[in-house]
């Protein structure tokens, strides 16, 4: 198999962590997993080229391609605020993805090896418009590129995305040399040239796999196949209503791979809007490499695994651990006057060391793609805390701004010593709040979309400094909620309350819930109640049994939260 992948497949959208939007790390996660499992080696990964306007022009109208110059066009397609579309970077990502599908199609015809492009299957893009995260129709562009080079074979497209292939039908529905087969979970009416099966809401593995078998039996003889291995058929998908299991989706892909054995084929991820979406993409790789039905462990966290792996290749001496003890260090150790010169964060990290870490973990490359340059770290002290700030120039306004601000100290809590976060702010001063990007309580400026990376990074800092974990005081409900899986409140009473609050607000959307809590609109056992920013900790080594589980359960059962009428 050949895998087409580029780090720039991650969409440069700082708002992508909120709302129903895309899983931006899907390609990174899947490729990392396939390398780790030795399903592929680095030689099997190919970096695509940005697709040319000449190639796009064989499918899309000049007026539509012109409209890409307006940020509003892509903002509309990706359902983000126009302030989130930075320069040409989003367009470059889309063109790279399309380039990947074209390269995969050429490659599979040349070598006979299956091609897997890890960002593609944009089936809602029509010649003159885009929609639903699809700006250009990469399958149609690839077929037109092959035709321009003399390929005359019949082409099949098997579209297993939850949504109907309206764009592909508009591009190719009249082309007798292309056969379009689709299984969808919703109907958008009759689509020209599409053999479509629509399954009812809630349909599961058995029903779906029967439909797959039937569709495959109707597929004519073809010389090249595109497979849209959509992940939005999974149960719990934010934009889908089918109910497949991960095992069911894998069996779908095995069934298809067996039917296509020996045929030139290109696999594409298309849609997928759940935290498990990357597992479907990685699963395609496992099918093509090993014919494997082996599930991916449920609790496997590809981001943590990736960043841990990078951490092992960074020496402490790269980060600032200076073996030469200076006079200032001695004063510092003795608790005397701190040196006036450039500080080190927690007596360890130099500004250069933090810049190096942020670069290696991929945060600075992403922040550059969001439109900032001249990124550099400044370390100083503010009150009792060490402060590190990442500053950068906004390439549009030329103004310097703070992009990351972190205040920390070592703090003893209970039995352990923790990396205590007094303040952490990820800021994108270019972005604006809007209906698509609502302001959270306590937020001055929209974020960078890097909260998960930052959480991992802080955990790795605690590890590097041989601390027991990370501690912080969530000022708002949504901050504690975001940390709920790995972290807990220090006291059993507070943790029990928090678990009861999550239980009682489970049907309220998070944005509403955090506002209601912040506004004092939530009562505890029919009494007015106020959120307190107590200490939460995220241990490096999670104890298998919580010693105070009983006390937590007792408090959880005692607490009943309710939303008070306005
Ligand atoms: Zn879809």
Ligand 1 centroid from CA 183, angstroms:
11
Q: What is the pTM of this model?
A: 0.91
CA atoms within 13 A on the CB side of 265: 20
In a domain, 18, yes or no: no
Answer yes or no: is 406 within a domain: yes
Does any domain span residue 16? no
Domain match, 295 and 436 both: no
Q: 233 CA to middle of ligand 1, Å? A: 8
**How far apart are the CA of 237 and the centre of ligand 1, in A?**
10
Nearest to 452 by CA among 422, 482, 476, 429: 482
Between the CA of 185 and the centroid of ligand 1 the distance, in Å, is 9
CA angle 386, 387, 392 (to 5 degrees): 160
Task: Examine residue 60 and state whether it is found in any structural domain, yes or no.
Answer: yes
* Within-domain flag for 21: no
Same domain, 509 and 552: yes
Structure tokens at 373: 């340059």
Tens digit of pLDDT for each residue in 447-498?
898 988 999 999 999 999 999 999 999 999 999 998 888 899 999 999 999 9
How far away, in angstroms, is 276 Cα from ligand 1 center? 14
283 and 405 in a single domain? The answer is no
Average pLDDT of the residues of the chain: 92
* CB-CB contact of 103 with 49 (8 Å): yes
224/353 same-domain check: no
Query: Which of 442, 468, 494 marks a domain boundary?
Result: 468
| pLDDT at residue 259 in the model | 98
What's the confidence (pLDDT) of residue 321? 65
Domain boundary (300, 327, 360) is at 300
Distance CA(384)–CA(382), nearest Å, equals 6
Q: Which structure tokens are listed for 32?
A: 């990392």
Per-residue model confidence (pLDDT) at position 330 = 46
Average the pLDDT over each of 113-117, 351-355, 439-443 and give the range with the smallest value: 439-443
> What distance in Å separates the CA atoms of residue 540 and residue 418, rounded to the nearest whole number?
10
Is 22 a residue whose pLDDT tops 80? no
Q: Which two tokens stand for residue 71?
A: 């940020």
Per-residue confidence (pLDDT) for residue 336, from 0 to 100 = 39
Q: Are residues 458 and 485 in the same domain?
A: no
Among residues 278, 300, 322, which one ends one of the domains?
300
**435 and 561 both lie in a single domain:** no
Number of domains forming the structure of the chain: 3
Distance between CA atoms of residues 320 and 60, nearest Å: 52
In a domain, 496, yes or no: yes
Average pLDDT estimate for 168-176: 98
- My answer on whether 283 and 348 are in the same domain is no
* Domain match, 254 and 401 both: no
Tens digit of each residue's pLDDT (9 = 90 or more) over 350-370: 999 999 999 999 999 999 999
Residue 494 CA to residue 482 CA, distance in Å, equals 16
Report every protein residue that has its C-beta within 5 angstroms of ion ligand 1. Answer: 161-163, 232, 271
HSE-up of residue 126 (Cα within 13 Å, Cβ side): 13
**Domain limits for position 564:** 473-566
Distance from residue 330's CA to the centre of ligand 1 (Å): 61
Residues with Cβ within 8 Å of 210's Cβ and at least 6 positions away in sequence, in order, are none
335 and 421 inside one domain = yes
Q: Are residues 40 and 82 in the same domain?
A: yes
- Quote the ligand 1 centre to 305 CA distance (angstroms): 28
Whether residue 82 is found in the same domain as residue 208: yes
Residue 20 falls inside a structural domain: no
Lowest mean pLDDT of 88-102, 291-305, 329-343, 347-361, name the range. Answer: 329-343
Distance 160 CA to ligand 1 centre (A): 9
**CATH number of the domain that residue 109 is part of:** 3.40.800.20
Q: Looking at residue 438, what is its pLDDT?
A: 84
Q: Quick one: pLDDT at residue 171? A: 98
Task: Work out the pLDDT band at 317, boundaries 50, 70, 90.
Answer: confident
Q: Using DSSP, how many helices (H) and how many strands (E) does the chain show?
A: 20, 18
Q: Give the 3-state secondary structure of residue 422.
A: strand
- At 93, the pLDDT band (50, 70, 90 cuts) reads very high
Say if residue 117 is in the same domain as residue 149. Answer: yes
Backbone angles phi, psi at 165, to 5 degrees: -85, 65
- Give residue-wise pLDDT tens across range 278-287: 999 999 999 9
Band of the pLDDT at 440, cuts 50, 70, 90?
A: confident
**Residue 19 falls inside a structural domain:** no
């Amino acid at each position: 198999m050949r895998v087409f992948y580029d780090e720039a497949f991650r969409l440069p959208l700082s708002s992508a962590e909120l709302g129903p939007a895309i899983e931006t790390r899907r390609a990174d996660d899947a490729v990392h997993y396939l390398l780790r499992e030795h399903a592929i080696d680095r030689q099997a990964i190919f970096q695509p080229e940005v697709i040319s306007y000449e190639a796009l022009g064989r499918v899309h109208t000049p007026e539509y391609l012109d409209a890409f110059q307006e940020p509003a066009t892509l903002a509309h397609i990706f359902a983000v605020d126009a302030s989130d579309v930075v320069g040409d970077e989003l367009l470059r990502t889309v063109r790279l993805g399309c380039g990947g599908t074209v390269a995969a199609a050429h490659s599979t015809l040349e070598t006979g090896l299956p091609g897997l492009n890890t960002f593609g299957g944009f089936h809602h893009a029509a010649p003159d418009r885009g929609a639903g995260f699809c700006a250009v129709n990469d399958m149609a562009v690839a077929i037109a590129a092959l035709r321009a080079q003399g390929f005359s074979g019949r082409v099949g497209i098997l579209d297993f995305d939850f949504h109907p292939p309206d764009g592909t039908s508009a591009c190719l529905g009249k082309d007798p040399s292309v056969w379009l087969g689709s299984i969808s979970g919703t109907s958008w009416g009759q689509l020209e040239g599409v053999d479509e099966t629509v399954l009812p809401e809630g349909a599961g593995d058995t029903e779906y796999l029967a439909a797959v078998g039937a569709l495959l039996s109707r597929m004519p003889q073809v010389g090249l196949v595109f497979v849209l291995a959509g992940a939005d058929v999974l149960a719990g998908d934010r934009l889908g209503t089918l109910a497949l299991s991960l095992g069911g989706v894998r069996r779908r892909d095995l069934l298809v791979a067996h039917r296509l054995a020996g045929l030139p084929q290109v696999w594409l991820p298309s849609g997928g809007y759940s935290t498990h979406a990357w597992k479907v993409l990685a699963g395609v790789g496992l099918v093509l490499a090993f014919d494997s039905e082996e599930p991916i462990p449920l609790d496997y966290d590809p981001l943590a695994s990736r960043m841990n792996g990078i951490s092992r290749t960074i020496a402490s001496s790269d980060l600032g651990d200076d073996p030469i003890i200076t006079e200032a260090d001695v004063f510092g150790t003795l608790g005397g006057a701190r040196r006036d010169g450039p500080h080190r964060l927690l007596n360890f990290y130099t500004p250069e060391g933090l810049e190096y870490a942020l670069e290696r973990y991929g945060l600075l490359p992403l922040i550059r793609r969001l439109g900032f340059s001249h990124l550099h770290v400044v370390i100083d002290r503010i009150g009792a805390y060490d402060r590190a700030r990442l500053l950068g120039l906004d390439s549009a306004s030329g103004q310097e701004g703070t992009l990351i601000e972190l205040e920390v100290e070592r703090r003893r809590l209970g039995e352990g010593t923790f990396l205590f976060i007094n303040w952490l702010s990820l800021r994108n001063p270019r972005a604006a709040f809007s209906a698509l990007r609502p302001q959270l309580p306590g937020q001055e400026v929209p974020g960078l979309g890097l909260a998960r990376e930052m959480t991992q990074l802080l955990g790795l800092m605690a590890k590097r400094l041989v601390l027991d974990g990370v501690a912080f005081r969530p000022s708002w409900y949504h901050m504690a909620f975001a940390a709920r899986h790995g972290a807990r409140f220090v006291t059993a009473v507070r943790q029990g309350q928090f678990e009861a609050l999550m239980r009682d607000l489970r049907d309220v959307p998070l944005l509403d819930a955090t506002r209601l809590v912040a506004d004092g609109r939530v009562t505890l056992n029919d009494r007015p109640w106020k959120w307190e920013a107590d200490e939460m900790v995220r241990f490096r080594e999670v104890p298998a049994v919580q010693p105070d589980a009983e006390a937590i359960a007792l408090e959880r059962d005692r607490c009943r939260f309710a939303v008070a009428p306005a």
